[in-house]
Amino acid sequence: MERTILFRGKRIDNGEWVEGYYFQIPQLKLYEIYTGKIDIVEDIKRESYAVNPKSVGQYIGFTTEDKTTKIYDKDIIQFDITENGETFETVKGEVEWLQEDCRWIVRLVDDEGQWYYPIEGDTYFKCSILGNMIDNCGILEN
The pLDDT-based confidence of 67 (bands split at 50, 70, 90) is confident
Domain boundary among the residues 18, 37, 54 is at 54
Across the chain, what does the average pLDDT equal? Answer: 87
Whole-prediction pTM value?
A: 0.86
- Check: CB of residue 136 under 8 Å from CB of residue 61: no
Residue 2 lies in a domain: no
In terms of domains, do 28 and 84 share one?
no
DSSP-based three-state secondary structure for 85: coil
Which pLDDT score is estimated for 90? 87
- Measure Cα distances from 31 to 4, 53, 70 in Å: 20, 6, 22
Compute CA 54 distance to the chain's CA centroid, rounded to the nearest angstrom: 12
Check whether residue 83 and residue 121 sit in a common domain. yes
Cα–Cα distance between 69 and 17 in angstroms, integer?
A: 14
Q: Are 60 and 73 within 8 A, CB to CB? A: yes
